[in-house]
Amino acid sequence: MKTIPHWIDGSSAPGTGTQPVFNPATGTEQARVVLGSAADIDAAVTAASKAFETWSESSLTQRTQVMFAFRQLLVEHEEELGRIISAEHGKTVDDARGEITRGREVVEFVCGLGDVLKGSFSDQVSRGVDVHNFRQPLGVVAGITPFNFPAMVPLWMHPMAIATGNTFILKPSERDPSAANFVAELYQRAGLPDGVFNVVHGGKEAVDAILGHSGIEAVSFVGSTPIAKYVHETATSAGKRVQALGGAKNHAVVLPDADLEFAANHLTAGAYGSAGERCMAVSVAVAVGTAADGLVAALEHKAREVKVGPGDAPGTEMGPLVTKASQERVENAVGTAATQGATVVVDGRGLKIDGFEDGFFTGPSLLDHVTTEMDAYKEELFGPVLAIVRVDTLDEAISLINANPYGNGTALFTASGEAARRFQRNVKVGMIGVNVPVPVPMSYYSFGGWKDSLIGDSPIHGPEGIRFYTRPKVVTTRWPQPKQQVAVGFNFPTSN
């Protein structure tokens, strides 16, 4: 049985215990991952602190050269990394390659960091006095990342942190930990000095050790809203900067003037891609007026056509859920929805795949006539379940979305520019798509929702990511001529 170790100071390191890592397609244990303790976090902080002394003083050219080399290695090993992700997460290899690509975009963004980090200079703000500013790294920073994107979400963090001169400790999900170690090896091959990037696996003990460690300056987190709130409260009380991205309940509104075939195609992919285990997955379709019946009919047809199977099998469009517990939770939610009055148009429960009968599979489920009082609407199911809510007008749809506690992503399908403009201006959501179901912004914009989807005010990657991992200095200088006398006043200094 393979054991997945920590990666500290450029080499593998043992842990204090282990727990199983499953293959979701077969339901069998395929490896064991070590569990981190406070001592393991402390060892990683010690290594990262030592590495920071020299890495923070390295040239911008040296840092970007490492990132260029790292980016090329991600390209060359995309297939291998994709299969590692698929084997532990369950998503298709194609989907895994897609997340690697979206993560690699952040690496490409920081390869041009020289332009982003340029400061400003103001000449002669007072006689003989100039002012300029620049940004410096924080020190040792950490990332706590979820199972659903074991490559992409960490890649939204550590390239930005490392390129700006920080050193990094990653605590990935213990459900699919191998991608983190693979990335660590790529960094080493790219020329990153030992100790700059470290991986410590584990659960709550490792998380709490990160949140409370005095040697860690900032923490980035992506996960559920309750844990995001816990991370934010605990880490900020310890004096750390915190990025804390939480859960979601993403709505896609379909107007009567929309191309229903186009909308149904994209809603099917947005709802059932990656088995719905995405914080940007479409989990609610809001059908407006006469769009409802035609939309439901089209979605039913397409949901029944989704090809479910092992993630590495040719032609598979949707793999299993990540754990048995996730499978049971999602299938119980479909049953609860039926009990509460929803119409189960497509029932994905009880799906068995030939040769993989013990895998954590469930098929796509489509629920109609869902109301905002039902659990299927209120809860983040994180599975392949699409709920249809029917409303009469676009304004009613906007009010429904704004009343929801989450505000991560939303979409509108329409042919009306007026409707699109009204929607994007009035909806209280951080990321909006118009005829785009999953509006994840490019790396040079920042990712983050509103309300309970973002705890605090620090989105991830893009310009906000640069600001998060650095702090500014403003320098006021005077270089008087030799023997020049400058009058000194005891009143508060001004530019006069």
279 is catalytic: yes
Burial class (CB in 10 A: 0-12, 13-18, 19+), 392: exposed
Alpha-carbon distances of 330 from 181, 194, 321, 371, 384, rounded to whole Å? 30, 42, 9, 18, 8
How many CA atoms are closer than 13 Å to the CA of 373, on its beta-carbon side? 3
Catalytic option among 153, 252, 279, 389: 279
Active site residues: 279
